[in-house]
Structure 1
Amino acid sequence: MIAALRSLFLVAAMTTASAAGAEATRSILSFDELEGWAADDHGAALSVFLNTCGDLGDPDWRALCGVARTYDAAAAQAFFELFFRPVLVEDGKDALFTGYFEPELDGSRTRSDRFRYPIYKMPPEARAANPWLSRREILSGDAMQGRGLEIAWVDDPVELFFLQIQGSGRIRLPDGGALRVGYGGANGHPYRSIGTELVRKGALGAHQVSAQMIRAWVRKNPEAGAELLFHNPSYVFFREVTRVAPEFGPLGAMNRSVTTMRSIAADPVYTPLGAPVWVEKDGKTPLRRLMIAQDTGSAIKGAQRADIFFGTGDAAGQEAGRLKDPGRMVVLLPIQRAYAMTPDEF
Structure 2
Amino acid sequence: MRWTVLSGGAALLAVAGLLSACASGAGVTASNRVAMEPTSFKEIPGWSDDKHAEALAAFRHSCPRLEVSADTRIPTGSGERVVTAAEWRQICARAAKVRSGDERGARHFFEESFRPLVVQAPAKFTGYFEPELRGSRAPSRLFTVPVYRRPADLGDKPYYTRAEIEQGALKGKGLEIVWVQDPVALYEAQVQGSARVHLAEGGALSLGFDGSNNRPYTAIGGVLADMGIMKREDATWPAIRDWLKRHPQQGRDVMRKNERYIFFKDTRSAAPTGSEGVPLTAQRSLAVDTAFTPYGTPVWIETVRPVAGKPGATESYRRLMVVQDSGTAIKGPARGDVFFGSSARAAEWAGRMVSGGRAIVLVPYKG
For residues 250 and 4 of structure 1, the distance between their equivalents in structure 2, rounded to whole angstroms, comes to 18
> What are the within-5 Å matches in structure 2 for residues 1-346 of structure 1?
1=8, 2=11, 10-12=22-24, 15-17=27-29, 19-22=30-33, 24-56=34-66, 57=69, 58=71, 59=84, 60-72=87-99, 73=102, 74-91=104-121, 94-126=122-154, 128-142=155-169, 144-242=170-268, 244-245=269-270, 249-282=271-304, 284-336=314-366
Normalising by the residue count of structure 1, what TM-score does the alignment of the two structures yield?
Answer: 0.88
Deviation at 1:55, TM superposition (A): 0.8
Deviation at 1:220, TM superposition (A): 2.4
Deviation at 1:336, TM superposition (A): 3.9
What SS does the aligned partner of 1:98 have?
strand
Q: 1:135, 1:230 within 8 Å by CA — same for their partners in 2?
A: yes
> What residue is the counterpart of 2:81 in the other structure?
none
Q: What amino acid sits opposite 2:355 in the alignment?
A: D
For residues 14 and 294 of structure 1, the distance between their equivalents in structure 2, rounded to whole angstroms, comes to 19
Q: 1:99, 1:310 within 8 Å by CA — same for their partners in 2?
A: yes
Give the total of aligned pairs.
Answer: 325
Q: What amino acid sits opposite 1:67 in the alignment?
A: R
- The runs of 4+ residues in structure 1 deviating greater than 6 Å are none
Deviation at 1:130, TM superposition (A): 2.2
For residues 345 and 113 of structure 2, the distance between their equivalents in structure 1, rounded to whole angstroms, comes to 37
For residues 217 and 15 of structure 1, the distance between their equivalents in structure 2, rounded to whole angstroms, comes to 45
CA RMSD of aligned residues (A): 2.1
Q: 1:104, 1:314 within 8 Å by CA — same for their partners in 2?
A: no
Q: 1:130 to 1:88 in 2, by over 3 A?
A: farther
Deviation at 1:255, TM superposition (A): 0.8
Deviation at 1:179, TM superposition (A): 1.1
Unaligned runs of 5+ in 1: 338-346
Q: 1:150 to 1:302 in 2, by over 3 A?
A: same
Moved more, 221-230 or 96-105: 221-230
Normalising by the residue count of structure 2, what TM-score does the alignment of the two structures yield?
Answer: 0.83
**Residue deviations 1:4-47, cap 9 Å, x none?**
79xx9642568435x4313x112211112211111111122111
For residues 280 and 119 of structure 1, the distance between their equivalents in structure 2, rounded to whole angstroms, comes to 37
Q: 1:12, 1:274 within 8 Å by CA — same for their partners in 2?
A: no
For residues 15 and 193 of structure 1, the distance between their equivalents in structure 2, rounded to whole angstroms, comes to 32
What SS does the aligned partner of 2:37 have?
strand
Q: 2:22, 2:291 within 8 Å by CA — same for their partners in 1?
A: no
For residues 48 and 328 of structure 2, the distance between their equivalents in structure 1, rounded to whole angstroms, comes to 33
For residues 203 and 14 of structure 1, the distance between their equivalents in structure 2, rounded to whole angstroms, comes to 45
**Residue deviations 1:106-140, cap 9 Å, x none?**
111110111111000011111x2322222122222
For residues 299 and 203 of structure 1, the distance between their equivalents in structure 2, rounded to whole angstroms, comes to 26
> What residue is the counterpart of 1:343 in the other structure?
none
Q: 1:4, 1:167 within 8 Å by CA — same for their partners in 2?
A: no
What SS does the aligned partner of 2:32 have?
helix
What SS does the aligned partner of 1:326 have?
strand
Q: What amino acid sits opposite 1:164 in the alignment?
A: Q
For residues 232 and 150 of structure 2, the distance between their equivalents in structure 1, rounded to whole angstroms, comes to 34
Greater helix share, structure number: 1
For residues 226 and 28 of structure 2, the distance between their equivalents in structure 1, rounded to whole angstroms, comes to 35
For residues 204 and 299 of structure 1, the distance between their equivalents in structure 2, rounded to whole angstroms, comes to 25
Unaligned runs of 5+ in 2: 1-7, 72-83, 306-313
Q: 1:121, 1:237 within 8 Å by CA — same for their partners in 2?
A: yes
